[in-house]
Amino acid sequence: MSDVSAQPTPEIQPADACSLAKFTTLCLGGAAARIETATSSGEIVQKVREAQARDEPVLILAGGSNVVIGDEGFPGTVVLVRSRGLRVVAEDPETVTVRVEAGEPWDELVAATLANGWSGLECLSGIPGSTGATPIQNVGAYGQEVAETITGVQVYDRHTGELGRIAAADCGFAYRSSIFKYSDRWAVLSVDFRLTRSPLSGPVRYAELARSLGVEVGQRVPLADARATVLRLRAGKGMVLDPSDPDTRSVGSFFTNPVLDQAAYQLFRARAAEFGEPPAWPGTGDVVKISAAWLIDKAGFAKGHPGPAGVAISTKHTLALTNRSGTARTADLVTLARRIRDGVHERFGVTLHPEPVLINCTV
């Protein structure tokens, strides 16, 4: 007869063992029912399938730099994507196509492409998060978007249970959006980028970057110069992760720049007339993109504007909402975001929309 008393007692994890706050750059979010780590594409698929077999909801989480998780956490399995690696899958004298695993840290990838003399990602330096998240958000900054270099995305289709590849033309890329952003159908496994063999950047399109580089818009600069300047500009806005800087405890830009049709734009201009001509840029088709940061500031929410429990607008960038105290709750951040959204709408008649993915919370 076995001695039941001699059997090991199952370990009871503390309540915060599955806290998701430690996996997000905001340091916010409640607990998950279960957390699994996947270190390869195969493991991502396996973990998702196992959770589906248990009839549990699944959240795929990598760098956590563009997600806001509610205080109630996630009532299912969270799969932490930690797959690494990149390899050349096609090349010719002018270009090279690299396949990058979803968990590869984005800025490490950018640094590697520049070290190899590959142009196309240099203006996206310093962006936190993982490579697999970039097509979801169509990540962009300083005049570049990943949609310009992505040729395809390898995915697991959670609806059909099949592996596949979605060509760039079918990814629905738009300003800070794609078919992946508001759907849990696809798990991104890896991403293909076609880059140019060149020691020079692409044409510099962003006026602030051109000024900082001392060149005209449209000129090219050495890759290392483009990267160093972008990193400096981002750091000055609290957009490069730094544990010693509470302004970087954020998801970067919290709101997207509104895109207005001509009728809405003219109404906005009339309401904004007292401030002079507002910054605006022509978009695709007969639309105009306006500055969310300008709207927030002119509506009375300046840099450093406080919210409850130590959340605040960044002291360096009006678009970033920060968990400065490190002890706030998601509800506090959401309260501040709603105040800003409602204040901007009341003043200018324009509605701001969140840029990060919201899990178990709404703004």
253 part of the active site = yes
Q: Are strands 58-61 and 74-81 parallel, antiparallel or unpaired?
A: parallel
Q: Which candidate, 345, 340, 323, places its Cα nearest to that of 255?
A: 340
**In whole angstroms, how large is the CA radius of gyration of the chain?**
22
Integer CA distances (angstroms), 359 to 22, 71, 97, 165, 265, in order:
15, 10, 33, 26, 31
Q: Are strands 58-61 and 86-91 parallel, antiparallel or unpaired?
A: unpaired
227 part of the active site = no
User: Using an 8 Å Cβ cutoff, are 49 and 161 in contact?
Assistant: yes
145 part of the active site = no
Residue with tokens 């020079």: 200
Active-site residue among 99, 176, 329, 341? 176
Exposed e or buried b per residue across 305-320, where buried means at least 16 C-beta atoms within 10 angstroms of its C-beta = bebebbbbbbbbbbbb
Active-site residue among 253, 314, 324, 341? 253
Structure tokens at 121: 């990602």
Active-site residue among 101, 122, 145, 355? 355
Q: Which residues are catalytic?
A: 176, 253, 355
